[in-house]
Amino acid sequence: MSLQYDVEFAKEAAPVLQHLAQTPKPALHDVATRRLMLGAMTNEQFSLPNDVEHVVHSVAALDGHTVPVYHFRKKLPPREGGEPAIVHIHGGGYIALSAAGCATPHGESVSQTGVQIFSIDYRLAPENSYPVPLDDCWAVLQWIHSKVKQFSINPARIAVMGESAGGGLAAALTLLARDRVLSPPLAKQILVYPMLDDRTNSNHAGALAFWDENDNITGWTAYLGPKAGSDAIVPYAAPARVDKVEGLPPLYLDCPQLDIFVHEGMKYACRFVAANIPTECHIYPGLPHGFEALASDIDVTKRVIENRYKAMSSF
State the catalytic residues.
Answer: 164, 259, 289
> Is the CB of residue 40 less than 8 Å from the CB of residue 32?
no
Burial zone of 234 (CB within 10 Å; 0-12 exposed, 13-18 middle, 19+ buried): middle
Give the distance from CA 133 to its chain's centroid.
13
